[in-house]
Amino acid sequence: MRFQPLVVVLLLSLASVALGDDPHCCAPASFSFRIESFTNVAGAPNAQIGNGYYDEQQGSYALVMFGNDTYQVYSLPTGVYVVNVTDGTHKCTSIQCTADVPCFQRYCTNATDWNYKGLIIVGTEKASQWTMSGHPGNFILQMLQSDKTRCIPIAFTMARGQTAESLEYAFTWWSNLKPASIPPSLFVPPATCSHTRAERSVSDLKRDHPQLLSLIRSVFVR
């Protein structure tokens, strides 16, 4: 089965960032950074994703490099901020949570409750216009708690496809987010959260997180 040249980026790392009206509002203060490169399909743009871990009350930060473009993505309780930093201008695009235009499909959140799930769909910037979701070049941010408790959310990347290999690649990325990669000084997960076992296959995920797997399939497997 051939993958569609669509990069689907699912991410929630943790960041301590304050945003305002300043065009440089999305500049991170400090963060622990790691990066992984991948190619979705032959002929498709290369992509990279890096995650920074912070306080879950403040929000998440990630750096996404797609083709020749680089984006900084910040998801905060007040909204989602996407910055195209390709040319160094750091222009900030914000998507605010409102009743009519929610940041998340069906769900939004507030400053004290991170137990939510939903989709944030963001298109790549072309001629200063954000393209609609569903076209090649877009990426989707999946905000999803890793458990019913307030745990460190999952983060992984995958190409849209219908094969088990595409899902397994996603879960391999997820399994790499183990506690050792998170500086204790920046974030200490709640005692109720268990991150000791890494899901390394579709069967592991299906057994341990059937609802998550069902959601992933319903959203990304077409």
pLDDT tens readout for residues 127-167: 222 233 333 322 333 333 333 332 233 333 322 323 333 33
Q: Which residue has the higher pLDDT, 92 or 207?
A: 207
For residue 211, the model assigns a pLDDT of 44
Domain containing 21: what range? 7-220
Whether residue 23 has pLDDT greater than 50: no
| Cα 35 to Cα 89: distance, rounded to the nearest angstrom | 22
| Domain membership flag for residue 15 | yes
| Domain membership flag for residue 17 | yes
| Domain membership flag for residue 133 | yes
Question: What sign does the dihedral 166-198-35-123 (CA atoms) show?
Answer: positive
pLDDT band for 89, please (50, 70, 90 cuts).
low
Please choose, from the candidates 166, 160, 169, the residue with its C-alpha nearest in 3D space to the C-alpha of residue 221: 160
**What average pLDDT does range 190-204 have in this prediction?**
35
Q: Which residue has the higher pLDDT, 72 or 40?
A: 72
| Domain membership flag for residue 1 | no
For residue 219, the model assigns a pLDDT of 34
Helices 164-175 & 210-220 angle (0-180, nearest 10): 120
For residue 125, the model assigns a pLDDT of 28
Q: Which residue has the higher pLDDT, 81 or 193?
A: 81
Domains identified in the chain, total number: 1
| Domain membership flag for residue 23 | yes
| Cα 168 to Cα 171: distance, rounded to the nearest angstrom | 5
| Domain membership flag for residue 2 | no
Whether residue 87 has pLDDT greater than 50: yes
Q: Which residue has the higher pLDDT, 34 or 65?
A: 65
pLDDT band for 201, please (50, 70, 90 cuts).
very low
| Domain membership flag for residue 66 | yes
